[in-house]
Amino acid sequence: MANNETQNSRRFKYGINVTISVLVVLSIVIILNVISYRRLARLRLDLTATRLYSLSEQTSKLLGKLEKDVKIVTLISSNAPEIDKARDLITEYDNYSKHITVEHIDPARELSRVEQFYSTIKKRYESTLTPMEDAIKQGRDEAHRLADDIAKQRIAIAQLLENKQFGPGQEKQLLEQVIRSFARYDTQLKDVNQQIDKTLSSAIPDYSGSLNVLKALLVEFDEKIYAVVVDYLGKMVSNSKQPNHIKEQLLKLSDSFKATREHVGKVLPILRRVKAGEEYTKVVQQIAKPNTVVLVGQKQIRVIPLEEMLRTASSAQTQLPEGQQPELQFLGEEKITGNLLAMSMDQQPLVVFIQGGRQPVLGYQGQYEAVAGRLRNLNFQVKDWSPQGRVNPRTGQSGQPAPPPEPQDGQSVVWVVTPIEPANPMMMQMGQTGNGAKIVAMVKQRMEQGDAVMFMAGPNPGVAMGMLDPIADVLDDWGIEIQSASLVMNEVVVSSRETTGDPTLRISSWPDALAITQALSGNAGVFASACPIELQTKEGVTTYPLAIATGNRLWAQKDLRDQKPKYSKEDAADQFTVAVAASKGDNRIAVFADPVWATDQIVTYGMLGPGTAQIVGAMFPANAELFINSVFWLSNMDEMIAASARSQDIRRIGEVTKAQMIGVRWAVLGGMPLLIFVIGITVGLKRRRA
């Protein structure tokens, strides 16, 4: 009996232990789930090689220093292209910063939410919309008063036309035409009122549109009818052939028309003067477009169309066979981050490209339009200046040069000096030094005022013949010398096992002394025609190499006309510096000894060849990144220097399907707790057997 009690007590004890173990395991699982939900909800682990599903370091830096709340609202229909990718990436902004909140609205299916959001937009501009509402009311009142005047004047004109003593002629034809115009007014006024009522009844009214239709209606009758007719009525009254009683009728009609014009003339200036709703009107017009992303800050509202966030394939690429067509790449991060940057800045930085040669730098056929577009996306103000004047594409002749752009007070400005075309020796003998002297004089003046400058240069055969490099004196003060009479080459093997020199320098290892190049780690770049840079110690000047070409068979080719350059041991070196940055006090400059490193032909060269970088990613992403980072540094915006979204262009894995995502979600939410539960039961049973 004692043994049975002992056995029963053991079973009870082990049963209690198993129950307690299960309860403990379940408690641990519940606690871990609560902690994970509350504390780790924002944690993301992106294992793709290019961090395809993560925000870039540049965006992360910006969000880290964001101090003001911003709400991002997507107004994108569910059938829009790349909708899932757009929403997923935008949601990441919410996960990265406590100052960002994201709301997704489908305007086609969630009308109530759309109207609610619109009402918040309208409320933001209440104080500035009051003058527009008052102006619209005055305009409508005047339009209705004009209708009353027209009704009376139609009767007066009809009586005049019925008078047989008012004979046929131009005067009668004119008044008959006025009657026909007046007859249209009621219909026009009705249409205008319906349009305004429809507009004002919307959640976010287009006040500017309402003002415009009112102005158009009043101006049409005031300037095209009343002003003309009043002049002719005066001539009719002064006509001695008109009977006196006809003159009296004409005079009364003229006075009535003048009184009407006087009333209209008091209201039209009010309608034209209202400017308070310009920002509101711009936002309304942008939001009215389909598929937009709206950034609502404390002081600003910015709207980004979805179409600007997608890379579009060229017509040739869209005709490729199915399976070979490049996918649309979502560029929303660059657009959104640029607008967030703009909303966090008090003033927009300015970058001015100086045209050193005959080729335009910006716009159609501009050599630097690609990097300029990147700057615009990041909210830089981008301009260009040519000391020789703009070239007329039809005649090929240069116009009168305009003065350099003037920055606003306190505005940060970077001057980008593109390669200066060497002066013609014959012209120099005549005392003409070319555009180089103008550019250098202007740049020196701006540097003295604290502006930053980026210099671009390259091989110059004239230097070997004793000609001076225009920017040599400027750089000499910084201890920087571009050896423009030489060209860095590396030895390559061509046909028949012969060797020759190739100026193409591929760089993937970057110096880490400055943030500009620290952010380029792992990115490939290329310098296609670089000169060596020699650095000398100058008091107060600190220099930082930005690009160093390395290799076993590198040399500086001094004969730039040699068609078959050969390796020269005397001019060889293990490495050559081809780009540097320098600071002197608060002044900063950057120098690149390659004339094409940031041009469109390099920056837009993609995996599928020239011009395909926008679609499938850049072959040399470091070039554009180096340019943008250098501009950030020159603008004293060091905190924004980091790997951007463009540096993650190359796609290496496919998208995670919805079915796969559901499987992963159930594996985490259900599989892990079940596994822990099974482990707890197994441990309990083993302990019981023991």
DSSP assignment string, 599-654: SHHHHT-BTTBTT-HHHH-BSSHHHHHHHHHHHHHHTT-GGG-S--GGGG----SP
Rg of the chain, C-alpha, whole Å: 37
Is residue 639 pLDDT above 70, yes or no? yes
- Enter the tokens of residue 136: 């619209």
In the 3-class helix/strand/coil scheme, how is 346-407 assigned residue by residue? CCCCEEEEECCCCCCCCCCCCCCHHHHHHHHHCCCEEEEECCCCCECCCCCCECCCCCCCCC
Q: What is the mean pLDDT of the chain?
A: 82
Looking at residue 497, its pLDDT comes to 80
The DSSP-derived string for 116-151 is HHHHHHHHHTHHHHHHHHHHHHHHHHHHHHHHHHHH
8 Å CB contact between 332 and 339: no
**How much of the chain exceeds pLDDT 90, in percent?**
33
8 Å CB contact between 189 and 144: yes
8 Å CB contact between 471 and 533: no
pLDDT tens for residues 65-75? Answer: 888 899 999 99
CA atoms of 162 and 154, how far apart (whole Å)? 12
pLDDT tens for residues 481-501? Answer: 999 989 999 998 887 788 888
Looking at residue 246, its pLDDT comes to 80
Looking at residue 651, its pLDDT comes to 39
Residue 1: which pLDDT band, with cuts at 50, 70 and 90? very low
Is residue 477 pLDDT above 50, yes or no? yes
Is residue 576 pLDDT above 90, yes or no? yes
Q: 276 or 211: whose pLDDT is higher?
A: 211
- Enter the tokens of residue 582: 């320098």
CA atoms of 112 and 75, how far apart (whole Å)? 13
- Please report, for the chain, the start and end positions of each structural domain, with discontinuous segments joined by +: 2-46+656-689, 126-279, 345-391+410-424+433-648
CA distances from 175 to 108, 213, 231, 246, 248 (A): 52, 26, 13, 14, 16
Residue 36: which pLDDT band, with cuts at 50, 70 and 90? low
Closest CA to 599 of 615, 623, 578, 581: 623
- Enter the tokens of residue 592: 């690149």
Looking at residue 654, its pLDDT comes to 41
Residue 554: which pLDDT band, with cuts at 50, 70 and 90? very high
Indicate left, alpha or beta for 50 from its phi (over 0: left) and psi (-120 to 50: alpha): alpha
> Whose structure tokens read 């400005």?
413
Residue 506 CA to its chain's centroid (Å)? 30
8 Å CB contact between 581 and 543: yes
pTM: 0.70
Looking at residue 327, its pLDDT comes to 46
Residue 534: which pLDDT band, with cuts at 50, 70 and 90? very high
pLDDT tens for residues 405-417? Answer: 988 888 899 999 9
Poorest-confidence range of 48-52, 517-521, 553-557? 48-52
The DSSP-derived string for 532-565 is PEEE---TTEEEEEEEEEE-SSEEEE--TT-SS-
Q: 506 or 378: whose pLDDT is higher?
A: 506
How much is the average pLDDT of 636-662? 64
- Neighbour tally for 32: CB within 10 Å: 14
Looking at residue 377, its pLDDT comes to 85
CA atoms of 49 and 648, how far apart (whole Å)? 9
Closest CA to 354 of 381, 380, 376, 387: 387
Looking at residue 37, its pLDDT comes to 53
Is residue 594 pLDDT above 90, yes or no? yes
Closest CA to 388 of 424, 439, 425, 428: 439
Looking at residue 535, its pLDDT comes to 93
Looking at residue 48, its pLDDT comes to 47
pLDDT tens for residues 333-383? Answer: 888 888 888 888 878 899 999 998 888 999 888 999 999 998 998 889 999
Q: Are strands 533-535 and 480-482 parallel, antiparallel or unpaired?
A: antiparallel
Looking at residue 426, its pLDDT comes to 47
CA atoms of 93 and 78, how far apart (whole Å)? 20
Residue 306: which pLDDT band, with cuts at 50, 70 and 90? confident
Q: 89 or 148: whose pLDDT is higher?
A: 148
CA distances from 15 to 19, 123, 366, 516, 687 (A): 6, 66, 82, 66, 10
Residue 532: which pLDDT band, with cuts at 50, 70 and 90? very high
Q: 681 or 142: whose pLDDT is higher?
A: 142
pLDDT tens for residues 162-213? Answer: 887 776 677 788 888 889 999 999 999 999 999 999 988 888 888 888 999 9
CA distances from 363 to 343, 371, 413 (A): 26, 12, 20
Q: Is 126-279 a domain of CATH 1.20.120? A: yes
The CA-based angle 513-66-587, given to 5 degrees, is 40
CA atoms of 31 and 21, how far apart (whole Å)? 15
Q: 15 or 365: whose pLDDT is higher?
A: 365
Looking at residue 424, its pLDDT comes to 57
Q: Which fold is adopted by the domain 345-391+410-424+433-648?
A: Rossmann fold (3.40.50)
For helices 278-287 and 207-221, angle between their N-to-C axes, nearest 10 degrees: 110
Looking at residue 85, its pLDDT comes to 75
Residue 20: which pLDDT band, with cuts at 50, 70 and 90? confident
Q: 72 or 78: whose pLDDT is higher?
A: 72
8 Å CB contact between 328 and 314: no
- Enter the tokens of residue 472: 């040599």
Looking at residue 50, its pLDDT comes to 47
CA atoms of 489 and 565, how far apart (whole Å)? 9
How much is the average pLDDT of 382-395? 75
CA atoms of 604 and 405, how far apart (whole Å)? 28
Please give the helix or strand (H or E) that residue 452 lies within, else none: strand 452-456
- Strands of the 587-592 sheet, one edge to the other: 381-385, 350-354, 413-417, 452-456, 587-592, 575-584, 541-550
Is residue 228 pLDDT above 60, yes or no? yes
